[in-house]
Copies of this chain bind each other. A is one copy, B any other.
Amino acid sequence: MGVEEKSQAMSPQTPSKERLRLWLRMLRVTRQVEAELREKLRVQFDSTLPRFDVLAALYRHAEGLKMNELSRQLMVSNGNVTGIVSRLVEDGYIDRIAIEGDRRATRVCLTELGRAAFAEMAEAHEVWVNELLDGVTEEDAHHMGELLHRLPAEPGAAR
């Protein structure tokens, strides 16, 4: 492996304004969509995006998740999860359940109330997203999804 051969091998491509422009555009679109979703969640369900995210993760895991796993799935700090979960517990949407054989960890699980509340929100959420991304055809959506699939390039490498 003496010399670079193909495009894959010499990872850092020509630095381009094109990728910077793409990033700024993704950032703008993401922020705008998030702002609209937040507003709708607030007005129609008196809720927030972080709460929605936590409920969504737990909805996909009926057996519940450890705080640890929740934090990793949502890509937020563990201290952050503690706060959001605490408020959701207060509201009766989720339960903290002791884990047998390890008193350090806690499993968090949707209550019936939480499950029902999320199901309703999720339905509306899917419609909202489709409206907001209306300008993208199903085909383009698929194509972009594929391109985004393995981004960003392995974090931690190539510094």
In angstroms, Cα B18 to Cα A140, docked, is: 9
* A19 contacts across to B, CB distance below 8 A: 129-130, 133, 136, 138, 141
Q: Given that A144-B147, A147-B140, A153-B135 are known contacts, is A26 also in contact with B26, CB under 8 Å in the complex?
A: yes
Which B-chain residue is minimally distant from A28 (CB atoms)? B75
* A132 contacts across to B, CB distance below 8 A: 23, 151-153, 155
In angstroms, Cα B103 to Cα A120, docked, is: 49
* A83 contacts across to B, CB distance below 8 A: none
Instruction: Tell me the chain A residues, 1-41 only, with Cβ under 8 Å from chain B.
Output: 11-16, 18-23, 25-36
Q: A134 contacts which of B12, B25, B29, B34 (Cβ < 8 Å)?
A: B12
* A158 contacts across to B, CB distance below 8 A: 131, 134
* 25 A-B pairs with C-beta separation under 8 A: A12-B130, A14-B138, A15-B130, A19-B136, A22-B142, A23-B33, A23-B129, A25-B148, A26-B29, A27-B30, A29-B152, A31-B75, A32-B151, A32-B155, A33-B151, A33-B152, A36-B152, A131-B153, A131-B159, A132-B151, A132-B152, A134-B153, A135-B147, A144-B144, A144-B147
Question: Which residues on A are within 8 Å of B, measured CB to CB?
Answer: 11-16, 18-23, 25-36, 75, 126-127, 129-138, 140-142, 144-145, 147-153, 155, 158-159
